Amino acid sequence: MPQRSLIIQIKPVFRDFDATMRVLPTTKLESIMEAWADMYDLDKEDYRFLHGRWVHDRRVKQNKDFQTVQDAGMEDGDVIEVLVELTPF
């Protein structure tokens, strides 16, 4: 049986760079973040992506527990928030 696709929204809290994506439960989170950054010609490494209990940024990029939409427990209509990654001078 084919997998049912989900609608995931990406909402930056700092700009109007919203996006809505149709993804499969097996879609890698990294792919979603790269697609969003590519849409707006941004470097995804400059942002944090948050959803529920996970934060995806440079520090947890290799976290094997949250590799796919399904791993993160995402459901249809869920929102990924995007924050600017602050780096010290």
Output the pTM of the full model. 0.78
CATH number at residue 58: 3.10.20.90
Domain interval for residue 66:
6-84
pLDDT tens by residue, 18-49: 999 999 999 998 899 899 999 999 988 888 88
Cα gap 75→78, rounded to integer Å: 6
In a domain, 1, yes or no: no
The 10s digit of each residue's pLDDT in 59-69 is 445 556 668 88
Tokens matching residue 55 = 């934060």
Residue at 17 is within a domain: yes
Percent above pLDDT 70 for the chain: 80
Between the CA of residue 21 and those of 29, 36, 59, 87, 89, what are the distances in Å? 12, 9, 25, 29, 35
| Tally of domains in the chain | 1
Q: Copy the structure tokens of residue 26.
A: 């097996």
